[in-house]
Amino acid sequence: MASERWRVRVDRGLCVGSGMCAGSAPEAFALDAGRRSRPVAEETEPSDPVFAAAECCPVEAITISVLDTGEPVFPPDFPPEE
C-alpha cells in the first residue's frame, strides 16, 4: 500500500517573507532573493515540521493538500483542489 503524499504550495502574493517556515522546516521551505517563501519540493511525505511551518505562517500563505485527492490538510477549511 502506497503512503499518502502531500502537495505543498505557497501563495507568494500573500507571503510576507517572515522566514518562519524556512526556520521551522528548512528541508521543505526556502526563501528566494526577494525573501518570498517557496517549497523546496511541491510534493512531499507528510511530516510534522511541514505541518508546523504551515501553522506558524503569520499570513496563512502555505496550503497543504493530499496529493491524490486534493483533500485539504492545512488549513482544514480551504476548498479542495479540482
pLDDT 10s digits, 23-79? 999 999 999 999 999 999 999 999 999 999 999 999 999 999 999 999 999 997 766
Q: What is the mean pLDDT of residues 2-15?
A: 91
Phi, psi angle pair for 70, to nearest 5°: 80, 5
Q: List beta partners, residue 6.
A: 44, 66
Separation of alpha carbons 68 and 55, rounded Å: 22
Total-model pTM: 0.87
Backbone Cα Rg of the chain: 12
For residues 1 and 41, give the distance between their C-alpha atoms in angstroms, rounded to a whole number. 23
Distance CA 52, CA 34 (A): 23
Domain boundaries 6-74, corresponding CATH code? 3.30.70.20
